[in-house]
Structure 1
């Protein structure tokens, strides 16, 4: 990293401290982030880690060079929820074909959704089903080393074989065992032991293995994919706060015990939870929206939301803090982004602002970087061209296009006027039902109409105002 660039500091869940980031190899900075399980369309909570770690990916590339950063985000395409969805949606297809149908459809939608949120593609996006052999190899190694055992049709990790199991989450192993339902799974040596491989019935997907036809447990998938693409030890592992236990804790246990390493990754980062309008998202309570819902329908706030607005709304809260996603928050983000876009101008040899980069380099401090953007916008609005160019470069760096909302505003104004003209024509033709329908449609979009007569001609005219 060039000496003039700021030192990157990251809050490390493993050490519970903010640390200077020192890569294992500055020419090959390596990051792994747990991606989606593609059994259904991604909800807005799934978008948060994608956006957070996209910003970190962009920052690492800025600090170390585009060609010196490898970002792996996996796709889990073998899972019991996927099996159930395949049986439900494609009962007439062979199971493997049905599973492929489910995962292809949902994975394609996920890629479309996150691209609309301004996220760069990761360097590599492996699928779990492409790494079954690697999973089997790790499990065989764990069995040979007495870190795992076969029982009840499963291969299980023996947590008592790892002296510091629970270090990431801070959970005490004895507490885990005492709180578990031991009687439900009596084949386990300890209730906290977890599945590495499980037998598959004829109605479930399966692969041949030394323990018979079966499929992998959830945790072993990421251990195999990260080892194959980043090595036995790498720099950064990320994901949502909900993954600390058991998923990330168990990844660490498998990988460290299989390879005899002190750590799996040097830095562990986790984003906070998301709730919707002050409540936990729940399908059963109707309080649940997908990324596609927000982008393509009027399900939330009676309108569609641009991807860059969703992105900024996520970033306005520090990534480690809980976030309340609301219509008011989206409106605030939209207003702020429009203000920045109006001030920004592309051109020149501008590069991202050094002060904004420095704020982001302190554990992704976007709120502080935002104050830098505000200052640049004020300077640009006073006529400072260099500030306008620098603001544009910084927004581009952050994945926030500089003129998208302005273009959309102009396009919306044209569409609104077309509808107003159609309504006036309907009123003149005494088609009052059609006129009322158009008025109601515009009102749903926040467009309030005010009819008046032209003083000179006496013709009916309409003014409009956007109340959003």
Structure 2
């Protein structure tokens, strides 16, 4: 599966700062020190109802992570998956009377278009669940052989007791986990499981549903969590720098994925930091596919909204915050974009080197994009009120906003 084209990232003078970011597993900030090559895995979409603003907010957060690392002169290995086979996808295709493969291909193509328009840096490896199946099957077989998995009526389950570190990603107690498992695709009430929290690794073939050769497992299809584990281990290995996604993935997805990998390899941790973006609401409720209260990037683009304004709407909120999409949010972003473009269109302006360092400092401090926007706002206001004599300043500001915030002025 191919990703989308990368926009150029201007090189800035000097060198950026190391990233200090909130780690869900420890509950506090950690300094991420990747070495010369930074490794990041971000969980991708299930391709239907793409791309809504909640999606865009999440991928914007991890685009900022990449930009901070690039500014420190590091190389990046970024991996993202597409869950192009899963119950919700099949249910949507059945509801609409559509072939599930056609739905997945169309929505993945739309996601690529939206990411390109928003100038999100693409992953080096963009992998679909279906294409990962040949690598998933051997991992499930190994878990079975080691006693970390078991068969129940043809389905294969992972035993959470096989990982002594289970629970350390989310920090939740068993009851909270059970409730979230039931809400987020698990089956804690299924009779015969060793532990209600045990997640499925391989679903035996169901009549009328797609299935694949699972070797000794029989025909079927993979569970959700093992998909990402197989892809991450193949392309990044254990102990990569950042596992990212929305806050609703901390449990069960990232918790279970970490345990799968740790049980498979005997190594710890799966990822050095678990980073989660907040949820976006609309009309007082979390934006979600089940509720249907979605604002789509493609619809905004068709209505003539500049993608740079959409991106500024996202950047106006701290990535970990839960916030609400409103017309006012977009209107403020449109106005900000106009002010910034007017400011950098002049032949000279106030000196901008301090601005570069302010934006760097803000983003290195847990991706504080609102503080970075405020720094650019101050320079633009000074440009409007008093101007300046530095002929290179508007260009420096434009390149800084482009390189670190992904906004083309």
TM-score using structure 2 length:
0.87
Q: CA contact under 8 A between 1:310 and 1:330: conserved in structure 2?
A: yes
Q: CA 1:287/1:133 → structure 2, altered by over 3 Å: closer, same or farther? A: closer
Q: Highest relative contact order (Cα 8 Å, sep 6+), 1 or 2?
A: 2
Equivalent of residue 265 in structure 2, options 243, 259, 263:
259
CA drift of 1:180 comes to 7.8
2:380, 2:283 → 1: CA distance?
30
Equivalent of residue 86 in structure 2, options 55, 79, 83:
79
Indicate the SS of the match to 1:165: coil
Q: What is the number of equivalent residue pairs in this alignment?
A: 384
Partner of 1:194: 199
CA drift of 1:380 comes to 3.6
Partner of 2:139: 138
Alignment of 1:143-158 (within 5 A): 143-158=144-159
User: Are 1:250 and 2:256 an aligned pair?
Assistant: yes
Q: CA contact under 8 A between 2:18 and 2:69: conserved in structure 1?
A: no
1:337, 1:183 → 2: CA distance?
48
Partner of 1:121: 122
Q: CA 1:283/1:76 → structure 2, altered by over 3 Å: closer, same or farther? A: closer
Q: CA 1:70/1:310 → structure 2, altered by over 3 Å: closer, same or farther? A: same
Partner of 2:342: 342
Q: CA contact under 8 A between 2:16 and 2:71: conserved in structure 1?
A: no
Q: Which structure has the larger Rg?
A: 1
CA drift of 1:252 comes to 0.5
Partner of 1:203: 208
Q: CA contact under 8 A between 2:189 and 2:196: conserved in structure 1?
A: no
1:174, 1:272 → 2: CA distance?
23
CA drift of 1:386 comes to 2.8
Indicate the SS of the match to 1:100: helix
CA drift of 1:3 comes to 9.3
Q: CA 1:188/1:43 → structure 2, altered by over 3 Å: closer, same or farther? A: same
Equivalent of residue 372 in structure 2, options 362, 369, 372:
369
CA drift of 1:369 comes to 1.4
Q: Deviations over 1:295-344 (max 9, x none)?
A: 214xxxxxx42211111111111111111111011111111111111111
2:271, 2:288 → 1: CA distance?
33
Q: Deviations over 1:8-45 (max 9, x none)?
A: 2111111112111111xx22210000010013332221
TM-score using structure 1 length:
0.76
Q: CA contact under 8 A between 1:380 and 1:388: conserved in structure 2?
A: no
CA drift of 1:211 comes to 1.7
Partner of 2:7: none
1:270, 1:401 → 2: CA distance?
26
1:260, 1:269 → 2: CA distance?
23
CA drift of 1:287 comes to 3.4
Q: Deviations over 1:156-191 (max 9, x none)?
A: 011122223111111223664699888941121121
Q: Deviations over 1:110-143 (max 9, x none)?
A: 1111222221222221111111122111111211
Which runs of no fewer than 5 residues in structure 1 stay unpaired? Answer: 92-97, 298-303, 403-468
CA drift of 1:286 comes to 6.3
Q: Deviations over 1:328-383 (max 9, x none)?
A: 111111111111111114999x9981221121111111122122212322344403
Q: CA contact under 8 A between 1:346 and 1:392: conserved in structure 2?
A: no
1:175, 1:133 → 2: CA distance?
34
Equivalent of residue 57 in structure 1, options 57, 66, 70:
66
Indicate the SS of the match to 1:30: strand
Indicate the SS of the match to 1:236: strand
Worse overlay, 144-153 or 372-381: 372-381
Q: CA contact under 8 A between 2:246 and 2:277: conserved in structure 1?
A: yes
The CA RMSD measured in Å over matched residues stands at 2.6
CA drift of 1:282 comes to 5.8
Q: CA 1:282/1:170 → structure 2, altered by over 3 Å: closer, same or farther? A: closer
CA drift of 1:257 comes to 0.7
Partner of 1:464: none
1:84, 1:366 → 2: CA distance?
37
